[in-house]
Amino acid sequence: MQELLLGVDVGTTATKAVLVDNTGHIISQGRAEYPTKYLQAGWVEQDPNDWWKSFCAAVAIAKSGAPNAKISGIAISSQAPTFIAVDASGEPVRNALIWMDRRAQLEADELAKSFPNISQITGNRADPYYVAAKIKWFIKNEPDNYRKTKFFLQIPGFLNYKLTGNFGIDSAHASLLQLRSADNLNWADDVMKFVGVSEDKFPKIGQASEITGEVTKGNQSGIDAGTPVYFGTVDGCSAAVETGVIDPGVVAEMTGTSTVLIMPTDGNNFNDAFVAIEHAIAGRQLRLGAMVASGASVAWLQQSVLKEHTSIEELTNQAKTVSPGSEGLIFLPYMMGERSPIWHTNARGVFFGLSLTTTPAMMFRAVLEGTAFALAHNVEIAKKSGIKIEEIRSIGGGSKSELWNQIKADVLGMPIAILKDSSGAAVGDAYLAGIGSGVFTDIRSTLASTVVIENRYQPDSKAHAYYQERYARYRSLYESVRQEFDQSAASAEYKINK
């Protein structure tokens, strides 16, 4: 019976499971989607029970591709961070607030005012992206639910509980609570007191490859009882390892609903890749960029504006005929506010330069260019802070678009590398289970055989020079309307007095 490692990544729209052998190669995989609830601008929720259903479904599909195999270890990663409140029996007391949810802006502002040096205390600026502001909002607005809450969890911890019956939180997710010290070794007591929460509301913190428990008997997942389950980590950690991005110079772009840049900065020779990646996450040195609406902008354009078009392929083919610059059209991709580098909750998507000659193809290309400009903005900030960037390795759904990859290369003026047979963070999770179980004693040699670059999109020098002007206009456009976003937000919703 072949023993395989199971890696599972819970993304923003779907769960992906992969089974990997002891050489690091994928044997089979499965995928299952779940819904997202967009309640109003900036309010975005998911039902944790949907994650569990999709986990079971994705695992079942992956297992069907290797029916005679035995799973020897499991690790899970996920979108991050997420606000999940559960009672003593592990049941959610309400829907989860995912990373995209921005309703706690007021609470984030209060944190920033009370702790002007909060980035030095916790390693993160005050922002509703992090969990601290969301917890403060929860305590203030839903006190009854707060009284029911036993623990605040993250997605891997929630699913690990469903598998093992043990509560826990992995170190990388703990660093994104904004309730830990900047080195992620202790609780930030003053910040916790201000938020109104104590450390007993959080379960045991463990390292990614540390065992959290074993699968219990009669578990709905269909995984054999006694199978080891490891704490897991943030999706970016696992995605970086799957791409072989461990050392400075090469950056991973994880692009799907949103885009995240993972930038190693520590030059030490870490044999255990996950130690290096998690160290960088905890120190806030690595996970810098986040375009909230990269893939989401593309999907929105197709579904809401260009309904007569039935496929992204059709739109892409038409956009290839449009010259760089989209005939003067500029798109700001801030569809749900924005994180790095502008950190602006009220920012919204903007098409600038529309005319009676604007075509759907121009709009589509402008979306691709706008998200590439947002990527360039993050790269610019990173380079100014001393981070070395020579190549970007792109994974995820967005990396399947040849046109998008070429636009990114031309905008950035650097190669965009695409991996052969990339399956994303779930593969890194399987490696993590292998590290925990001792199957992989030298992850670098494993990566040397599994990371294969299929294509490198090289920048066109003429297009890059032209895009520098359009990028300047993109940056200027945001600055011109930045204050208007905030002033307009107050009257964005029409309310009828009763």
Residue that wins the pLDDT comparison between 130 and 125: 130
Mean pLDDT of 441-459: 88
- pLDDT score recorded for residue 296: 65
272 SS3 class? coil
pLDDT category at 324 given cuts 50, 70, 90 is very high
Quick check: 273 pLDDT over 50?
no
In terms of DSSP bridges, do strands 70-78 and 233-234 run parallel, antiparallel, or are they unpaired?
parallel
Tokens, residue 11: 């993304």
Q: What angle do CA 435, 439, 441 make, to 5 degrees?
A: 65
Residue that wins the pLDDT comparison between 7 and 40: 7
pLDDT category at 242 given cuts 50, 70, 90 is confident
Mean pLDDT of 121-135: 93
Task: Please report which residue ranges of 223-266 form alpha helices under DSSP H.
Answer: 235-242
Of the candidates 366, 357, 433, the residue with the CA atom closest to the CA atom of residue 403: 366
Per the CB < 8 A criterion, the answer to whether 73 and 109 are in contact is no
H-run or E-run covering 259: strand 259-262
Min mean pLDDT across 23-27, 188-192, 247-251 is at 247-251
- pLDDT score recorded for residue 484: 95
Residue that wins the pLDDT comparison between 296 and 194: 194
Quick check: 280 pLDDT over 70?
no
Three-state SS string over 353-402 comes to CCCCCCCHHHHHHHHHHHHHHHHHHHHHHHHHCCCCEEEEEEECHHHHCH
Quick: pLDDT tens for 35-73: 999 998 889 999 999 999 999 999 999 999 999 899 999
Query: What is the average pLDDT value for the chain, to the nearest integer?
Result: 89
Eight-state DSSP code of residue 327: G
- pLDDT score recorded for residue 26: 93
Buried b (16+ CB within 10 A) or exposed e, 15-54: bbbbbbbeebebbbbbbbebeeeeeebbebbbbbebbbeb
Tokens 């502001």 correspond to: 133
Quick: pLDDT tens for 364-423: 999 999 999 999 998 998 888 888 899 999 988 888 899 999 999 999 999 999 998 788
**Residue 228 neighbours by CB distance under 10 Å:** 18
222 SS3 class? coil
- pLDDT score recorded for residue 288: 38
H-run or E-run covering 18: strand 14-20
Min mean pLDDT across 81-95, 188-202, 455-469, 481-495 is at 481-495
Quick check: 282 pLDDT over 60?
no
pLDDT > 70: percent of the chain: 91
CATH architecture for the domain at 3-234: 2-Layer Sandwich (3.30)
- pLDDT score recorded for residue 450: 87
Mean pLDDT of 77-98: 97
pLDDT category at 497 given cuts 50, 70, 90 is low
Which pTM does this prediction carry?
A: 0.82
Quick check: 286 pLDDT over 60?
no
pLDDT category at 332 given cuts 50, 70, 90 is very high
- The CA-atom distances, in angstroms, between 471 and each of 90, 369, 372, 449, 462 are 48, 9, 9, 38, 14
Mean pLDDT of 305-319: 75
Per the CB < 8 A criterion, the answer to whether 215 and 73 are in contact is no
Q: What angle do CA 485, 342, 320 make, to 5 degrees?
A: 90
Counting every residue written for the chain, the total comes to: 498
Quick: pLDDT tens for 222-232: 999 999 999 99
Beta bridge partners of 118: none
Q: What is the dihedral of CA 413, 457, 377, 346, to 10 degrees?
A: 150
Quick: pLDDT tens for 142-201: 999 999 999 999 999 999 999 999 999 999 999 999 999 988 899 999 999 999 999 999
Q: Where are the domains of the chain?
A: 3-234, 245-421+459-489
CATH architecture for the domain at 245-421+459-489: 2-Layer Sandwich (3.30)
pLDDT category at 240 given cuts 50, 70, 90 is confident
Eight-state DSSP code of residue 284: T
Of the candidates 84, 202, 100, 200, the residue with the CA atom closest to the CA atom of residue 138: 84
**Residue 431 neighbours by CB distance under 10 Å:** 27
Quick check: 301 pLDDT over 80?
no
3-234 and 245-421+459-489 agree in CATH topology: yes
